[in-house]
């Protein structure tokens, strides 16, 4: 299947942010992320507005043009930023609470005033997503589910998790996880038991394994039809675009439906936001 998506794309290898249309290579725009180091997180927060988390905070931009509209530049070590329905923003990272080492989730109101802070021991976290009354924290080889105070509720783990990147609660109460260097997707049931995996090299059709080259499954997005779109990051640096297929799409059962790449435009696709 030829993928037909318009999406925002963080190219970690070249430190650029793109608006891409897979149907038209000339469409969209591209901008440098030199002023927004280590951008990792993407969220749509309006019809023409996106939130982008980066190492020192987050910024908001116009999707249609790439124009930066608002910046919150305040910390070091931010790994995730998430806008809530009430207008608050959750900022997650390591050692953010000025002198108190550990993993932090900070709450900012709509005026970007910090109103709450939660902390737990730890020195590694990637994308965070709310789950019920708490959070899902990606902490390398397992997913830590916590309450709002970052107190542990349970751990979700699968063999092969290494720098697990993102965990998301699904409508049935389960959790979907991208395994990082494990290069597969994992589904957990509502009780936290590993239910299935998909997308790993051994699970792909033999004829497609070398072309796809699963290396590091980073950001993913569940589409309205249940399909799962995954960024297949290929390594640090500017010249990785021909190493594998950069954008993969699986059906709800985990069957690979198609892929997309543009080695001239992208090196290492890490963040995606399908529009």
Span between the terminal Cα atoms of the chain, in Å: 19
Q: Which bin fits 6, alpha (ψ -120 to 50), beta or left (φ > 0)?
A: beta
Cβ neighbours of 251 (radius 10 Å): 14
Return the pLDDT at 80: 98
CB 223 within 8 A of CB 236: no
Residuewise pLDDT in 10s, the chain (275 residues)? 789 999 999 999 999 999 999 999 999 999 999 999 999 999 999 999 999 999 999 999 999 999 999 999 999 999 999 999 999 999 999 999 877 789 999 999 999 999 999 999 999 999 999 999 999 999 999 999 999 999 999 999 999 999 999 999 999 999 999 999 999 999 999 999 999 999 999 999 999 999 999 999 999 999 999 999 999 999 999 999 999 999 999 999 999 999 999 999 999 999 999 99
- Would you kindly state where each structural domain of the chain is located, as residue ranges? 6-274
In angstroms, what is the C-alpha Rg of the chain?
18
- Using alpha carbons only, give the angle 242, 244, 248 rounded to the nearest 5 degrees: 130
Assessment of whether the complete model's pTM goes beyond 0.85:
yes
Return the pLDDT at 100: 76
Sheet holding 152-156, edge to edge: 128-131, 134-138, 143-147, 152-156
CB 211 within 8 A of CB 245: yes
Query: How would you classify the pairing of strands 16-21 and 247-250?
Result: unpaired
Length of the chain: 275
Q: What is the DSSP letter of 235?
A: -
Distance, CA of 271 to CA of 9 (rounded, Å): 6
Residue 212 three-state SS: helix
CB 247 within 8 A of CB 230: yes
Sheet holding 256-260, edge to edge: 216-222, 228-233, 247-250, 256-260
Burial class (CB in 10 A: 0-12, 13-18, 19+), 121: exposed
Backbone angles phi, psi at 261, to 5 degrees: -150, 155
Cβ neighbours of 34 (radius 10 Å): 8
Q: Across-strand partners of 41?
A: 53
- Using alpha carbons only, give the angle 192, 194, 197 rounded to the nearest 5 degrees: 140
Q: What DSSP element (H or E) covers 208?
A: helix 206-212
The CATH number of the structural domain formed by 6-274 is 2.130.10.10
């Amino acid at each position: 299947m030829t993928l037909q998506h318009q999406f925002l794309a963080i190219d970690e290898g070249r430190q650029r942010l793109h608006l891409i249309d897979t149907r038209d290579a000339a469409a969209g725009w591209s901008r440098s992320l030199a002023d927004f180091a280590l951008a990792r997180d993407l969220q749509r927060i309006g019809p023409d507005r996106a939130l982008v988390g980066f190492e020192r905070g987050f910024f908001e931009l116009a999707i249609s043009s790439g124009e930066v509209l608002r910046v919150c530049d305040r910390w070091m070590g931010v790994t995730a930023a998430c806008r809530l329905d009430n207008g608050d923003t959750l900022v997650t990272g390591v050692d953010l609470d000025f002198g108190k080492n550990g993993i932090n989730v900070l709450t900012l109101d709509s005026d970007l005033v910090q109103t709450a802070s939660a902390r737990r021991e730890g020195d590694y976290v990637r994308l965070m997503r709310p789950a019920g009354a708490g959070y899902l924290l990606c902490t390398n080889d397992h997913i830590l589910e916590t309450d709002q105070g970052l107190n542990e509720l349970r751990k979700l783990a699968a063999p092969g998790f290494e720098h697990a990147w993102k965990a998301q609660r699904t409508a049935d109460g389960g959790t979907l996880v991208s395994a990082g260097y494990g290069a597969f997707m994992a589904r957990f049931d509502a009780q936290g038991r590993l239910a299935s995996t998909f997308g790993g090299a051994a699970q792909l059709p033999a004829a497609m394994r070398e072309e796809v080259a699963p290396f590091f499954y980073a950001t993913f997005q569940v589409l309205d039809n249940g399909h799962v779109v995954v960024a297949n990051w290929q390594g640090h640096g500017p010249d990785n675009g021909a190493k594998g297929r950069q954008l993969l799409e699986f059906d709800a059962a985990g069957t690979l439906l198609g892929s997309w790449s543009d080695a001239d435009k992208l090196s290492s696709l890490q963040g995606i936001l399908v529009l």
